[in-house]
Amino acid sequence: MTEALGIDLGTSGVRAALVDADGKTLALVQARIEPAQRRDPQALFRAVGEALAGLGDLGAVAAIAVDGTSGTLLAIDGAGRPVTPLSLYNDPAAPALVQRIAAAAPAESAARGATSPLARLLALQAAPGAARVVHEADWIAGRLWGQFTTSDENNALKTGYDVLARAWPSWIEGLGVRPEMLPAVVAPGVRLGEVGREGRALGLPPRAIVAAGTTDGCAAFLATGANAPGDAVTSLGSTLTLKLLSHQPVFAPDYGIYSHRLGETWLAGGASNSGGAVLARFFDADRIAALSATIDPAEASGLEYYPLLSPGERFPINDPALAPRLTPRPADDARFLHGLLEGIARIEALGYRRLAALGAPAPIRLRTVGGGASNAIWTAMRARLLGVPLMPARATEAAVGTALLALRGTSSRSGHQQETSSD
């Protein structure tokens, strides 16, 4: 039986998933990393080994792919050995480098911003012994494959890669980036080559293929089963995040919107500052469940809330001074919660209308992940306000989505392939 392996490099550890040829999840394990060790590349690789060991026999694995947190980088020497700690996706970059990029990069570039991976690459390339700067997913895939030359279009996006031209843009060299620091870039899922020595030492079969990976966000989208333009996935976690598959890319930096390329389609998305963190300010999970049971989702609350923890919103409204709207607060806690849930659902609906106005399709199917997905009353309320069929997610773990990406490599070959064996 053919199996595919997905490895997810998360903020708190490594998850690994096995799927069969039909995409059914066979196993899912996690190896935790202590927060103090998350910047240690070797601790990350050890956690990968622990996760693979937890899966048991890997003899049927035909393909492997790795996803990582978007924008986490490290510098390596010519043999692939780390010469710096991991620079995490949310680490601030040097303000002077951020300003240089802001002056050089096109307005729609995802390389802009206070945590710019490109700005952090500029700093990392100066480390003694640095021969290349790689994304964490590239480095782990490289350990399994035996080469460190290649990245994927999703991870490379925030490092400045031009996904429309499918090339590194000329303005990057003007910033002082050394060309040898930049990897070759291929589409997610492209077959890179066969498992190398270190991969075999972890129990992977010698003829298994290592495929180009993706980011954790894209992998989580793929895990749900969404795969056609118009498919949307809402994440109801601490914040509200929307992702929508589109025939064409959407770039609107004022709203924090950019698009990842997935094959010949595009994954556009935006994130609101509203979400579950606002609910948690007022009620714990048990209280939310108990109060929700008393709410009629077919009825309007009569409250016009815009739930935020503090002033400021970027998507779907771009207003850094937008004030939370949480009054009047009724004496009845159930009605107050009704208003909060309804307010977040209205923001979600406005978000999808915003994406459509900018060129994405209107959603035709919607799946939900995150803690809010388990609230049936909220789901019914959202369905009423969105007017879109809500479907169950096939899976919610990014590792499963990455395994499904690897599975593609067992049956077809993509363009820009490497197909190189290693040691």
Q: Is residue 417 domain-resident?
A: no
Residue 147 near residue 420 (C-beta atoms within 8 A): yes
Task: Let me know whether 117 and 249 are in one domain.
Answer: no
Q: Say yes or no: 386 and 402 in one domain.
A: no
Per-residue model confidence as pLDDT tens digits over 329-338: 999 999 999 9
Nearest in space to 113 (alpha carbons), one of 217, 254, 244: 254
Residue 376 in domain = yes
E strand or H helix at 211: strand 209-211
* Same structural domain, 309 and 287: yes
pLDDT of residue 420: 42
- In a domain, residue 48? The reply is yes
| H/E run at residue 234 | strand 231-236
Q: Are β-strands 258-262 and 184-186 bridged in parallel, bridged antiparallel, or unpaired?
A: unpaired
* Co-location of 182 and 135 in the same domain: yes
Phi, psi (degrees; rounded to nearest 5) at 247 = -70, -25
Whichever domain contains 310, its CATH number is: 3.30.420.40
- Nearest of 341, 154, 350 to residue 265 by alpha carbon: 154
- Regarding whether 353 and 276 lie in a shared domain, the answer is yes
Q: Which tokens sit at 187?
A: 């589409």
Start-to-end CA distance of the chain, whole Å, equals 26
The residue ranges of the chain whose pLDDT is under 50 are: 412-422
The answer to whether residues 385 and 403 belong to one domain is: no
Q: Is residue 51 located within the same domain as residue 120? A: yes
Residue at 418 is within a domain: no
Residue numbers of the domain that contains 367: 228-391
Q: Specify the number of domains making up the chain.
A: 2
Residues 170 and 196 both lie in one domain: yes
- C-alpha span between 118 and 120 (Å, rounded): 5
pTM of the complete model: 0.91
Give the pLDDT of residue 411: 57
Note whether residue 421 is domain-resident. no
Q: Do both 111 and 202 map to the same domain?
A: yes
CA 20 to chain centre: 23
Q: How far apart are CA 256 and CA 269, in angstroms?
A: 8
3-state secondary structure of 36: helix
Q: What is the pLDDT of residue 412?
A: 46
The whole-angstrom separation of Cα 154 and Cα 329 is 43
319: β partners: 313
* Cα radius of gyration rounded to whole Å, the chain: 22
Phi, psi of 231, deg, nearest 5 = -75, 130
User: Which residue in this structure is represented by tokens 């009569």?
Assistant: 302
102 inside domain: yes
For 353-370, letters b (16+ CB in 10 Å) and e give: ebbeeebbbebebbbbbb
Return the SS3 of 287. Answer: helix
Could you report the per-residue pLDDT of 116-126, keeping only the tens digit for each? Answer: 999 999 999 99
How far is CA 360 from each of CA 313, 319, 348, rounded to the nearest angstrom?
A: 21, 22, 15
18 and 114 assigned to the same domain: yes
What's the CA gap between 301 and 110, in Å, rounded?
A: 39
Q: Is there a single domain that holds both residue 54 and residue 125?
A: yes
| Residues of the chain by 3-state class (helix, strand, coil), percent to 5 | 35, 25, 45
223 in any annotated domain:
no
* Residue 314, domain member (yes or no): yes
Give the Cα separation of 134 and 353 in Å (integer).
Answer: 36
Per-residue tokens: 347: 């923001």
Whether 265 and 319 map to the same domain: the answer is yes
Give the H or E element holding residue 53.
helix 41-55
Where does residue 150 fall: left (phi above 0), alpha (psi -120 to 50 degrees), or beta otherwise? beta
Ranges of H-type helices in 203-255:
216-223
